[in-house]
A and B are shown apart, each in its own frame.
Chain A
């Protein structure tokens, strides 16, 4: 793709985002679909998020123990686990999974509706398809992403606990006593703020690719593919900026 074309696509995405935002802040709202989509995304992503953060918590426990054993500071392990899971791993992994599962499902749904000309049909019936189909989905991801982040945090900490206490035989009391040594409530809040922004980015990218799908069944597949890749690229970039800003570095 030529640079000019890329630039044009970014511009179109910006216009799309502006159109969605304008409809999101003005009534009427499609409240019922919003809750339905939130529920669907949250329940669909629950298992993948937990299934990814739990083993990752265990891996941090495993590798962290190796570092801290060098200094005889095994009691610091739970602090490292809670810092890593709360601040970075859970927000990022939960968002990757939300993009892969929830975002791509939305892109597939909207893409199929576009290919089958259902979106055109709603337009013909004087129903604003952006307001009716896109806004509830974007907002659903904005709400579901932080909730799934909290779930991922719990699963990650549990994974670390199972690794350190259950497998490596560290004392459980020491683990729990040191768990919150380096973390403050702000860390959890930071994760929630981050994932809210990531959820917005995922929702906009997914709905953009689904809404603008062209070229039959293959186009839907390509839209889903692009959704995952572009969403992940976008929020990893945003993650660096947000982390820098939050630590005021």
Chain B
């Protein structure tokens, strides 16, 4: 039953974050700094992974549709699978792996070194000082990262489709354009922001709850990435079901 207690503690943490920020401006200047850090740190990893996701989508789509003679559908497959589902989830997973783990380990290190207690002694609310800029920063950058992931995925799969598989590039892009509508992109952006909120809150919670010492830091970092990626994938299904199901 300990997981039930953790969910309760997490809800309490979210409530405390909300209360610490009610009727109060965020710490000045720190939001942009955190947004820059989160965005720029995650970007190279995210783009590299998106390239490989795109290449594999093309390869797998080509192989799945070849028996039916539907190689031209690869563009549609890439657009639906890549843009609607994979790009937001990949962006979330990479931000969780890069920025989320870093948040968790930074805060856990501050816990170990008793810097969080020091903040409280100085009458600075640590939730307001540490969590708020990260939360606002991640909300700010996630939509941009998601769009970049979408673009890179499509570009890489186009490259594989034309150069490696010998498909017609114009056809491919026509199918991509035909299957993606503005509302899909809006849905991706909303997904991205929600994933960002989940990643930030889960990672910061893991950091705050960590036990002291090197093991505590390691375990907090570990828990942050696992819990936030599992939550994002489940959340992704719920959002997709609401948007596209029925």
Interface stretch (choices A2-10, A11-19, A59-67):
A59-67
Q: Are the C-beta atoms of A109 and B218 separated by less than 8 Å?
A: yes
- Please state if A220 and B214 are interface contacts (CB–CB under 8 Å): yes
Contact A249 B59 (CB under 8 A): yes
Number of B interface residues at 8 Å Cβ cutoff, please give it: 58
The answer to whether A224 and B45 touch (CB under 8 A), given A83-B64, A84-B60, A116-B214, is no
B162 → A minimal CB distance (Å): 13
| A233 pairs with B77, CB closer than 8 A | no
Query: Which listed residue, A84, A218, A232, touches B49 by the CB 8 Å rule?
Result: A232
Decide: A218 and B164 in contact? CB cutoff 8 A.
no
- B229: CB under 8 A from chain A? yes
Contact A108 B215 (CB under 8 A): yes
How far apart sit A84 and B61, CA to CA, in the bound complex (Å)? Answer: 9
In the assembled complex, how far is the CB of residue A33 from the closest CB belonging to chain B, in whole angstroms?
Answer: 18
CB contacts under 8 Å to B, within A46-76, are: 48, 51-52, 55-56, 58-60, 62-63, 66-67, 76
**Which of B14-22, B101-109, B129-137, B143-151 lies at the interface with chain A?**
B101-109
Stretch at the interface among B27-35, B192-200, B237-245: B237-245
B97 touches A229 (CB 8 A): yes
Interfacial residues of chain B within 221-242, with CB under 8 A of chain A in the complex: 221-222, 225-226, 229-230, 233-234, 236-237, 240-241
Asked if A220 and B64 make an inter-chain contact with CB atoms under 8 angstroms apart, the answer reads: no
In this complex, the member of B76, B108, B222 whose beta carbon has the largest number of chain A beta carbons within 10 angstroms is: B222
Q: How far is the CB of B155 from chain A (nearest CB, A)?
A: 15
**Cα A247 to Cα B217 with chains together (Å):** 43
Say yes or no: is A225 at the interface (Cβ < 8 Å to chain B).
yes
Judge whether A228 is part of the interface by a CB distance below 8 angstroms. yes
Q: Which among B55, B56, B105, B165 is the interface contact of A218 at CB below 8 angstroms?
A: B105
Interface: A107 (CB within 8 A): yes
A67-B64 in contact (CB<8A): no
Quick one: which of A189-245 are within 8 Å of B by CB?
216-218, 220-225, 228-229, 232-233, 236-237, 239-240, 243-244
Residues of chain A at interface, number, CB under 8 A:
56
Residues of chain B within 8 A (CB-CB) of A104 are: 101, 218, 221-222, 225
Q: Are A66 and B80 in contact (CB under 8 A)?
A: yes
A159 to chain B, nearest CB (A): 8
Whether the pair B217, A220 counts as a contact (CB closer than 8 A) is yes
The answer to the question of A182 belonging to the interface, with a C-beta cut-off of 8 Å to chain B, is: yes
- A154 in the interface (beta carbon within 8 A): no
User: For A131, what are the chain B residues with a Cβ–Cβ distance below 8 Å?
Assistant: none
B217 in contact with A218 (CB, 8 Å): yes
Residues of B within 8 A of A83 (CB): 60, 63-64
Q: Which residues of A contact B112 (CB under 8 A)?
A: 217
Given contacts A100-B225, A228-B101, 17 further A-B contacts (CB under 8 A): A48-B226, A51-B234, A62-B240, A62-B245, A84-B64, A84-B81, A92-B56, A101-B222, A109-B218, A167-B245, A224-B217, A225-B98, A228-B225, A236-B52, A239-B56, A240-B59, A249-B62
Q: List 30 A-B contacts (CB under 8 A).
A: A51-B233, A52-B229, A52-B233, A56-B237, A58-B241, A63-B81, A63-B85, A96-B93, A96-B229, A97-B226, A104-B225, A105-B218, A108-B217, A116-B214, A182-B64, A217-B108, A217-B112, A220-B215, A220-B218, A220-B221, A221-B104, A221-B221, A224-B217, A224-B221, A225-B97, A225-B221, A228-B101, A233-B48, A240-B52, A243-B60
The 9 closest A-B pairs by CB, nearest first: A108-B218, A221-B105, A55-B237, A236-B52, A112-B214, A224-B221, A225-B101, A228-B97, A104-B222
